[in-house]
Structure 1
Amino acid sequence: MEIIVITCYNESNKAVEKERDNMQSIKVRKIGNSVGIILPKELGLKNGDTLQAEREGNLFILDTTQTAKEHDRKLIEESFQDFEKGLTVTEAEMKSTFGKYGWN
């Protein structure tokens, strides 16, 4: 679970101000008749991901939990596709193929 917190100006909490020193600035931009932000690729988000947004006072909280669950679900479903297609090997096959490398 990753939660992204964006702090608004006018916040007087000293702990938040200390954390703000380590934060990256994200500029709000006009997008059509609305405004939006461009998030850094280091957050690992992909086009089409959905974030849960919440405002608590001067904080905007973007929760990526649901996006992470969807990503994990996709990986699991892809893994089961290999199983359904018979693209798996037995433990005995692994031992005969990789036994010389220490597979016991």
Structure 2
Amino acid sequence: IGFNSQEKAKKPLASTLLRTIMNKGVKAAIQQYHDLKKNEPDSYNFAESELNSLGYRLLRTEKINEAIEIFKLNVEVYPEAFNTYDSLGEGYMHAGDNE
């Protein structure tokens, strides 16, 4: 009642990509994102917040360059969302790039 049960069944994208980052690197995770979005669009939660939370999780563990790459992906995928740019700026700030 009032919710779509298929929405609740979607797998968390952030956890899946985090495992790939830890095992194979951020470039492999970005490729995985594109592959999953193309081949399994209904299986994963592709919300802006998934990539954003992944980026912040990476920042908290001092994986700053990886976080920046994930934030850049989020800007690419959600160019209309102001929060993606804010998060990318925060990633650059953590890297010491204040420009």
TM over 0.5: no
Query: Larger RCO: Structure 1 or Structure 2 (Cα < 8 Å, ≥ 6 residues apart)?
Result: 1
- Structure with bigger strand share is 1
Higher helix share: 2
TM-score with structure 2 length normalisation?
0.22
- What TM-score do the two structures reach when normalised by structure 1? 0.21
